[in-house]
Amino acid sequence: MTHKIRTRARVESAAWFLSPFVVLLAAWLVAIPALDVSPRTFPSAPAVWSALVDQTAAGELIPHVLSSLGRVFLGAGIAVAVGVPAGLLMGMSAALSTFFSPLLRFSVALAGIAWIPLATLWLGYGNGAVVFVVFNAVFFAIVYNSMLGVRQTGTSLLRAARSLGASRWQMFWEVYLPGALPNIVTGLRVGLGFAWRGLIAAEIIATSTGLGYTLFLARQYYETDVIILMMILIGVLWLVMDRLLLAPFERRTIQRWSGERKARA
């Protein structure tokens, strides 16, 4: 019975989540023919579907999708590997967290697109510049949120660990890192949102593959159907990544750590 209730709740949640997109699609199907909008101004929904079929049949779409996803995962992976330890170490020191907080807030506002000119100057045109932009977008969000997560770890939990003789290394792995995980996942979600924006902009400028490049190339030939298709794919990829991977991981992390804190209090 409980399984059926959970399944029904998930179906209802998915239906509510998709409902505005269904309404938007219906309005799109009706408005474009009714208003007799030129395809060079805005394409019809069937034209975008045809573009999807044509690009897939020609074998052009999948390589571009894989190129963009590969750059996102590589840049974000490096940012997590470097940013989480850096943020935790900063958070473990009150002096360091106080000193770096203003700088990190400043950097979060500039992360991503603003670094594209320097990225191309330093790394040239190609994957390196795009991966750097993605890394930059995720890194500062991860560091800042990791640091906040450490600072928000319960005082009673810290005292209990120290009274049991936990070493600094054990405090790092067994107390600070688990305690900061909810903030780390939140930082990753925020950073990846900025990363996708930076990725598309960087691909337009610095590469000859990827969804951003395809979008920009279509503009030169007035292929509005391809432009809208790329925009939809970018949004769908981000929603799938966020809803199916990041959001459940964040929810489970928060639930588990909250339970552990109550149990240990």
111 or 260, which is more confident = 111
Query: What DSSP letter does each residue of 129-184 carry, written as one string?
Result: HHHHHHHHHHHHHHHHHHHHHHHTS-HHHHHHHHHTT--HHHIIIIIIHHHHHHHH
- pLDDT by residue (tens digit) across 98-144? 888 888 888 877 777 888 888 999 998 889 999 999 999 999 999 99
Residue type, 215: L
Mean pLDDT, rounded, for 150-169: 69
At 263, is the pLDDT very low, low, confident or very high (cuts 50, 70, 90)? very low
Mean pLDDT of 25-44: 92
Q: Please tell me the pTM assigned to this model.
A: 0.84
For 52-77, write each residue's pLDDT tens digit. Answer: 999 999 998 999 999 999 999 999 99
